[in-house]
Amino acid sequence: MKLGCGPAWKMAMALGEQQRSTVWLARGGLRPTRQRLALAGLLVGDGMDRHVTAESLYAAVGAAGAKVSLATVYNTLRAFCEAGLLNEVVVDGARSYFDTRLDDHPHFYWEDSHQLTDAPAEELVIAGLPDAPEGMAVSRVDVVIRLKRA
C-alpha cells in the first residue's frame, strides 16, 4: 500500500492531531469538549508553533468546516491563555495575538501583512531594564520588533 494518500494515512494523521490536542488540553487542566478540540487541533494539531488572532482562527475553523462563532473562538482563546496554554501578545491596542510557544522570545510584527512571527531569540540582548516601581515586580517583558518595507 502506498503511504501518503490513502484513507488509512489520513485517519492516522487525524488521530495524531486529536491525541496531540487532547494531551495539550489536559496539560491546561481543560476538558476536551468538541469545540475546544476543534480549535486545539488548528493550534497545535500538527505540532508546529503558531501565532493566531481570534479572527484568523475563526477563518481557519470555518474553512475546516466546523461551526464555531467568533465569540466562542475569542472566549476559548482567553480560556487557553488563562490555563497557561497560550501566551497573549498585544501588538497594538486593538489586536491580540495568541502564541502557542510559551518560552520567552521576541517577535517580528510585519506591518503591511499584520503577521506576527518569531524573531531569533539568540540575537536579542537586553542589557538592562528600568527598576520596577516600589512594590511591583516585572512579570514579563514583551519584545515586538515592527517591520516595514525598507
Judged by CB under 5 A, does residue 99 bind Zn ion? Answer: yes
Residues ≥6 apart with Cβ < 8 Å to 83 = 28, 29, 30
- CA distance to 13, 17, 24, per residue, from 89 (Å): 30, 25, 20
In whole angstroms, how close is the CB of 8 to Zn ion at the nearest point? 34
CB of 2 or CB of 140, closer to Zn ion: 140
Q: Does 101 bind Zn ion (CB under 5 A)?
A: yes
Report DSSP state, residue 23. H
Nearer to Zn ion, 55 or 104 (CB): 104
**Residue 51, beta-bridge partner list:** 99
Q: Note whether 78 binds Zn ion by CB under 5 A.
A: no
Distance CA 147, CA 95 (A): 16
Q: Which is nearer to Zn ion, 8 or 102 (CB)?
A: 102
Rule CB under 5 A: choose which of 66, 106, 118, 143 binds Zn ion: 118
Q: Quick check: 50 binds Zn ion (CB under 5 A)?
A: no
Residues that bind Zn ion (CB under 5 A): 99, 101, 118
